[in-house]
Structure 1
């Protein structure tokens, strides 16, 4: 289920979910690898990010907003999870554009929580996972499904955020970040 407000703000997520599901199946991966804990929407501009951030606050509770990879990202726990082929999706991540880069706006990726990343690689050796993210914290695998991506993690984004907050690791958005 998509609330009318979310559909108005983000568009219909069904084609996005369907393309991710089709991509998994084309690579021989089952839809039941694990729960999809969030999807990410990339804003086209800082102005769009600010508008969406304000509007999305009516659709969910902010878990955190901080600087990640040089730009603000905010995560909402939705009041009504999104329904899709991966089960209910409880969170939505909104990413501002990276400075100096041109981005298309819209849904960009979904993330699935799996018990073990290395086991996923062993079970599906023919799948072209991008393994560069295994060295980062938290580790991840990525599967490109142009124009989207599926990412695989060991814990939900909400749990990762809670741990980062507890360890005081969230980098705040500078007060003057959005000034012209």
Structure 2
């Protein structure tokens, strides 16, 4: 195994705190970390230069499932060669998001996503939890739990399965070849 580079080591050094905060947030709301499998974690890059650096470095640690435009900025997903250990079980994937142009944002680890069998059942079983349900109407329905400053998102399909469906249905919007020359 290749030793992590400084930029990747920075992400990994924050991972235990991030996962502890997500675990504590789940417990504080009366859920168990075993409610579902944590499918991936997402890191939002500070800027496009960091995105490009991390994209290159992460290629040593995982297979690219897809890179495409989501929300007007590139996002790449890696299926890790060695899953990340967590209180939610082994996490097989890492998502790297470029910043949205013209938007202020916090960079760093941003959210984790948990796969559950049924979102309506989740809402019904835990009516006291302040889930944000705005994402139920999207093409990949989700509910979100804020664990400030982070989020836990709940889906019925893993990110890898969602990506496979998007590829099969030709729904991936490619990153324009000149995207980074224009926005750096």
The TM-score range, normalised by the shorter chain, is: over 0.9
Structure 1's consecutive aligned runs of 4 or more residues displaced over 3 angstroms after TM superposition are: none
Matches within 5 A, 1:54-73: 54-73=56-75
How far residue 4 of structure 1 moved from its aligned partner, in angstroms, is: 5.0
The structural deviation recorded for 1:107 is: 0.4
Shift of 1:9: 4.4
Give the direction of change, closer, same or farther, for the CA distance of 1:105–1:23 in structure 2 (3 Å limit): same
Matches within 5 A, 1:1-180: 4-5=3-4, 8-12=9-13, 13-180=15-182
Q: Give aligned pairs, total.
A: 178
* TM-score, with length taken from structure 1: 0.96
**Deviation, structure 1 residue 11:** 3.3
TM-score of the superposition, structure 2-length normalised?
0.94
CA drift of 1:10 comes to 1.1
Aligned CA-pair RMSD: 1.2
